[in-house]
Amino acid sequence: MAIDRRKLKLGFAMTAVVVVAAGIGIGTANAGTRGPWHSAKPTRSAPTKAATSTKASPTTASPTTASPTAASPAATSARPSSAPASATPAATATATAKPGTWTPPPANATFDYQIGGAYTPPTGTTVVSRDSEAAPAAGIYNICYVNAFQAQPGAESWWKTNHPDLLLHDAAGNLVIDEDWDELMLDFSTEAKRTALTGIVGGWMDQCAAKGFRAVEPDNLDSYSRSKNLLTQAQAVAYATALSTRAHAKGLAIGQKNTADLSSANVKKIGFDFAVAEECADYDECGAYTASYGNNVIVIEYSRSGFTKACNSYGSRLSIVLRDVDVTTPGSKSYVHEAC
Cα–Cα distance measured from residue 321 to residue 157, given in angstroms and rounded to the nearest whole number:
35
CA angle 320, 324, 327 (to 5 degrees): 90
- pLDDT at residue number 181: 86
pLDDT of residue 180: 85
C-alpha to C-alpha distance for 153 and 220, rounded to whole angstroms: 13
CA-nearest of 230, 207, 241, 260 to 68 is: 241
CB-based contacts of 228, cutoff 8 Å, min separation 6: 170, 176
User: Which residues of the chain register pLDDT less than 70?
Assistant: 1-99
pLDDT at 97: 58
Asked whether the beta carbons of 41 and 193 are under 8 A apart, the reply is no
CA distance linking residue 330 with residue 191, whole number of Å: 43
Question: Computed from CA positions of residues 212, 323, 288, 31, in that sequence, does the dihedral angle turn out positive or negative?
Answer: negative
Number of Cβ within 10 Å of residue 147's Cβ equals: 31
Q: What is the pLDDT of residues 256-265, one digit of tens each?
A: 999 999 999 9
- Nearest partner of 271 among 199, 330, 230, 215, judged by Cα: 215
Q: State residue 34's pLDDT score.
A: 38
Domain ranges of the chain: 5-58+70-339
User: What phi, psi does 166 have (nearest 5°)?
Assistant: -100, 5
Q: Are 184 and 147 in contact (CB under 8 A)?
A: no
| E strands in the chain | 64-65, 101-102, 111-114, 127-131, 141-147, 177-178, 183-184, 215-219, 253-257, 274-278, 297-301, 319-323, 337-339
b/e map 21-41, b = 16+ CB within 10 Å? eeebbbbbbbbbbbbbbbbeb
Q: What is the pLDDT of residue 96?
A: 57
DSSP 8-state symbol, 84 = P
Predicted model pTM: 0.76
Give, in order, the Cα–Cα distances in Å from 327 to each of 29, 34, 139, 153, 270: 9, 10, 22, 16, 28
Amino acid in position 20: V
CB neighbour burial string for 244-266, b if at least 16 within 10 angstroms, e if fewer: bbbbbbbbbbbbbbbbbebeeeb
- In 3D, which of 122, 112, 177 has the Cα closest to residue 150? 177
CATH number for the domain running over 5-58+70-339: 3.20.20.70
CA atoms within 13 A on the CB side of 161: 6
